[in-house]
Each structure stands twice: as C-alpha cells, then as structure tokens.
C-alpha cells in the first residue's frame, strides 16, 4: 500500500512509489480503429492479457487471452460472431460471458458440464474512439454488470465537433506517469518552447481546488497568461475559462470554454505492466472550424508528450536506486492528493468502509510555474 510518511524537513513529504494497481475501474484497452471485422486483437492492461473483438452485431467483447483448458492464447483462435474458438482443442466460449459452449472431445454420454467452465471475461464498451474494459480483477471473474459505473465519456457541448487521438508509451509505473499529469513545476523546464512557454515566463500562480467524487477539481478560472495555446482563444473576444479534473484511477480531463466555443481533452495513463504505461490523449472541439486544427494539434501534441516521455525515461535509472519521491509544498500537493486518494481507495477496498477523501473542502494552492 502507498505510504506518505513525513520526513524531517519542514514542507517536505516523501512518497513511496510502489505502483500498486487499482482494480474496479474502466480502462481504455484499444483504439476502436484497431479492431477490424471478426479479427481478434490482443492488448494488455494491468498485466492482464486480453483478447478483444466484435460480435456479429458489431458489439465489442473482451476475454482473458488464456484458455481455461491449457492456457493457450484464445487470440490464436477465431470468432464466429458469437463465440471464440480456441485453436488448441477447439473449445468454444461465449464472446461476452466467456461461458464454455462446446468441448468437441466429449462423447454424448459425458457427465462434464461444459457450461460450468468459463474463460475470463470483462465488461467492454466503446466510447470516444476507444474500447474500454472494466477490470474488476485480474482473472476476469464475473462481475454484476448492472452494478458497475458507466464508461467515462469525454465532455462535449455541441452536436457538431471534431475529435482526435494521440497515444504514447511511458516506460514507468502508473504513479510516475499519473503524477506527471499534475506536476505544474516541470512545465517551464521540460515543455520550454516558443509556442508554449519559456523558462523566463515563470510566474506565481494561485489556483483553487475542490473535492469531487474520487478526485479533485482545479476550479474554473482564466488560463495563465504565459500559456501559449490559450492566447489563440482571445481571437473570439470572449472570456476564456478552463477547469481541470483528476479522478481515480488515471483520468485528467480539461474543459476549456469560450462563449459557445469549447475545447475538451482527456489524458489517461493506464498501466500495461507495472513498468510500462500507455498514455491516451483525446481532444474534442468546435472552434477554429476554418483551420486544420487536427494536424496542428497532433504535431504539437506529439512533441509535448515526447518531452514527457523523454524525462520519464531518463528518470528511471534514478528511481531504481531511489524509489521514494519528495513531494514539496503546494507545487506537489496534487501529487500528494493522488497518493492519498489511492491509499484511501485501497483501504476502502480492503475494509469495505466508505472511502475517506483527502480534501474536506476548497483549498487554494500557490506555486511558481
């Protein structure tokens, strides 16, 4: 379990980066466009090997990519639109529930109850161009599908919008990847550039945060004057506001509004294994319709994410010999809340008691970035 033990320097907390995985959430497993026709596609999330596909009606399904018979990868088999057949001994499993439908080797008088055999299966939904899986446990044991929360959805504020996606792998555990999403202090150093911000543009910021279920919100505010892309929105001559939410396990969502125009984006950092994460970024907007926003966003977005990928990679040898991170003052307060939320979630999972929220009301943080 994550610990946040105080050490003796005033204003400094050390946090243990233990990379504990969080079960009981939806995670993006694939881009929708990676699944074609009846083909079976593999993915790994939270160290669970998955095989995904679509049934005859086009609905996505996700099974554990391990045959319950002799552990053969089901992804080597085929899907007939309703069942997935293992190619080793031909057992067939319902694509959505994993229930065994046929064991070809048994004779008519066999007492084997194949319907009592299950391949692991996971609730699966498509949203915003992603195939999401609900990972309640690593084996794909049945969960009450009516009792799980809805799939996360990117907020949109009009019928007519554009959407784009970016993906990158991060060679770190989920804690390093996620705290990187809420680390304002690295901006002017790692993301220095003429179009974003310079090191000299560093200035004092003050932001108000409030608790929300499973996370915290940077309350709606006018974006920082030293942040390049927001300046473009001045074109519309209306007040620009931005609001940023973080919710467990791994979701950062930003909503930018400017009159009837809007731009929203969401970043998730999902563990593939304990030491590698997949960053998924999706943005939607209804502004600058006369301008090719998508290629520009992809170009700058790739560079921006690449800068994070690079520092994370170079941080890894150090983290091996010094796994504890220092969390200082208000600049690292969000990271500390993340660890507290995570610890509270794990504790509530273990005890069944309601989850204790680290924030009991609005808090104003001040830092320079």
Interface residues with ligand FES (CB under 6 A)? Answer: 67, 69-70, 72, 86, 88-89, 91
Nearest to Fe ion of 318, 354 (CB atom): 318
22 versus 181: smaller Cβ distance to Fe ion: 181
Q: Rounded CA gap, 143 and 29, in Å?
A: 18
Q: How deeply is 269 buried, as exposed, middle or buried, from its count of CB atoms within 10 A (0-12, 13-18, 19+)?
A: buried
Question: Minimum distance between the CB of residue 104 and ligand FES, rounded to whole angstroms?
Answer: 9
Q: Please give the Cα distance from 102 to 93 (Å, whole number).
A: 7
Decide: 35 and 54 in contact? Cβ < 8 Å.
yes
Identify what 308 binds: ligand FES, Fe ion, none; CB under 5 to 8 Å per kind: Fe ion
Ranked by CB distance to Fe ion, the top (closest) residue is 308
| Least distance in angstroms from the C-beta of 88 to ligand FES | 4
> Contact between 308 and Fe ion (CB under 5 A)?
yes
Q: Does 331 bind Fe ion (CB under 5 A)?
A: no
Q: Quick one: what does residue 95 bind among Fe ion, ligand FES, none, with the CB cut-off 5 to 8 Å set by partner type?
A: none
Q: Which stretch binds Fe ion (CB under 5 A): 35-43, 125-133, 290-298, 303-311?
A: 303-311
Q: CA 23, CA 10: separation in Å to the nearest integer?
A: 35
Show the DSSP H helices in 277-357 as ranges: 293-321, 333-351
CA distance 242 to 223: 6
If you write DSSP's letter for every residue of 41-84 in order, what string do you get?
EEEEETTEEEEEEE-TTS-EEEEESS-TTT---GGGSEE-SSEE
The distance of closest approach from Cβ of residue 135 to ligand FES in the complex, given in angstroms and rounded to an integer, is 23
Q: Which is nearer to ligand FES, 92 or 261 (CB)?
A: 92
In the complex with ligand FES, the residue whose CB is nearer, 33 or 102, is: 102
Residues touching Fe ion: how many (CB under 5 A)? 1
Bridge partners (DSSP) listed for residue 210: 217
Using CB under 5 A as the criterion, which residues of the chain lie in contact with Fe ion when the complex forms?
308
């Amino acid at each position: 379990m994550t610990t946040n033990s105080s050490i003796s320097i005033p204003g400094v907390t050390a946090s243990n980066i233990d990379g504990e995985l969080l079960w009981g959430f939806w995670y993006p497993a694939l881009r929708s466009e990676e699944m074609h026709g009846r083909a079976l596609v593999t993915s790994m999330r939270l160290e669970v090997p998955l095989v995904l596909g679509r049934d005859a009606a086009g609905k996505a399904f996700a099974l554990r990519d391990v045959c319950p018979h002799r552990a053969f990868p089901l992804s080597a088999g085929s899907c007939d639109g309703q069942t997935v057949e293992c190619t080793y001994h031909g057992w067939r499993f319902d694509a959505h529930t994993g229930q065994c439908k046929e064991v070809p080797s048994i004779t008519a008088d066999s007492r084997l109850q194949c319907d009592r055999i299950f391949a692991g299966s996971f609730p699966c939904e498509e949203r915003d161009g992603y195939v999401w899986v609900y990972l309640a446990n690593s084996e794909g044991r049945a969960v009450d599908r009516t009792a799980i929360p809805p799939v996360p959805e990117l907020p949109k504020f009009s019928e007519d919008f554009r959407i784009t996606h970016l993906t990158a792998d991060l060679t770190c555990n989920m804690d390093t990847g996620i705290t990187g999403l809420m680390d304002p202090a690295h901006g002017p150093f790692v993301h220095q550039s003429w179009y974003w911000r310079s090191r000299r543009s560093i200035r004092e910021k003050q932001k108000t945060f409030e608790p929300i279920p499973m996370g915290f919100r940077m309350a709606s505010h006018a974006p920082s004057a030293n942040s390049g892309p927001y300046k473009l929105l001045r074109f519309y001559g209306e007040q620009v506001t931005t609001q940023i939410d973080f919710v467990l396990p791994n979701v950062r969502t930003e909503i930018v509004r400017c009159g009837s125009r809007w731009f929203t984006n969401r970043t998730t950092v999902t563990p593939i294994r304990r030491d590698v994460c997949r960053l998924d970024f999706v943005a939607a907007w209804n502004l600058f319709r006369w301008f090719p926003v998508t290629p520009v966003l992809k170009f700058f977005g790739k560079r921006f994410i690449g800068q994070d990928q690079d520092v994370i990679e170079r941080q890894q040898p150090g983290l091996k010999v010094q796994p504890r991170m220092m969390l200082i003052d208000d600049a690292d307060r969000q990271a500390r809340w993340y660890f507290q939320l995570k610890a509270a979630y794990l504790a509530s999972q273990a005890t069944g008691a309601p989850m204790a929220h680290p924030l009991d009301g609005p808090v104003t943080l001040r830092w320079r970035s």
